[in-house]
Structure 1
Amino acid sequence: MKTCLVVDDSKVIRKVARHILETLDFDVREAGDGQEALEACSQDSPDVILLDWNMPVMSGMDFLRALRQTEGGGAPKVVFCTTENGLGHIRAAIDAGADEYVMKPFDRETLESKLQIVGMA
């Protein structure tokens, strides 16, 4: 079974994402910020990470940069999932190592298409 780590400080977003991902046959874990996510990845690296941009403790961008520098940190596919929709934000995310980008609010169809693009659906 494919694994996904949902990283978002919003419990509601994590719950919605978990529901969608489980219907797509993912085993889902959750983290409330980038630091928690980094620890989760060091224990058991997921196949794909759904990542929020704005979070306390460690932002999505800081997490992504840190992840990509760790051993094996290049393996998980990372889909940024955020309200930040400026071209500059999207370019910065891709430059930092994100594989794809999805806008909030998202639905099952949108998320599934992004996962297909990164080869995970």
Structure 2
Amino acid sequence: MRKRVLVAEDEKRISHLLKMYLEREALDVEVADNGEEALEKALQDSFDVIILDILMPERDGFSVLEEIRKTKATPVIMLSAKGEAHDLKRGEELGASDYILKPFSPKDVVSKIKRLI
């Protein structure tokens, strides 16, 4: 059975790029364009890894992660252009598995996902 990844990213260019790279690795990829959609998909479906942008419309990535952690232990990789220590700490406290700063190499993201699954 193929592994499933949820990419929650409001920048279409980034979500498309990640989807393309992950599908090349034989992963099934679902995309969410905002925080509410990401939360709905994360709670309704089963994913092996979730890639979650921090700054998204409708609901930020931290609040999405907080809600996910109430019922699921799915590995979550936080994506952000913000690299302040307090953001890293908050993600860690909420249960993020890893943190990737933008700009990033899609190959690095694929590598981190493979490590988690």
TM-score, normalising length from structure 2?
0.91
Unaligned runs of 5+ in 2: none
Q: What's the TM-score once normalised by structure 1's chain length?
A: 0.89
- Counterpart of 1:98 in structure 2: which amino acid? A
Q: Map of 1:5-84 to 2, 5 A cutoff?
A: 5-70=6-71, 73-74=72-73, 76-84=74-82
> What is the rounded CA distance, in whole Å, between the counterparts of 2:47 and 2:114 in structure 1?
16
RMSD: 1.3
> Counterpart of 1:114?
112
Displacement of 1:106: 1.7
Give yes or no for contact 1:101–1:114 (8 Å, CA) kept in 2.
no
**Number of residues of Structure 1 aligned to a counterpart in Structure 2:** 116
Detail structure 1 runs of 4+ shifted over 3 Å in the superposition.
Answer: none
What are structure 1's unaligned runs of at least 5 residues? Answer: none
Read off the aligned partner of 2:92 and give its amino acid letter: I
Aligned with 1:51: secondary structure?
Answer: strand
Cα deviation, residue 6, structure 1: 0.3
Tell me the residue number matched to 2:83. 85
**Same amino acid, percent of matched pairs:** 34
Deviation per CA, 1:14-66, whole angstroms, max 9, x where unpaired? 10110111122210001011210111122212110011000111100000001
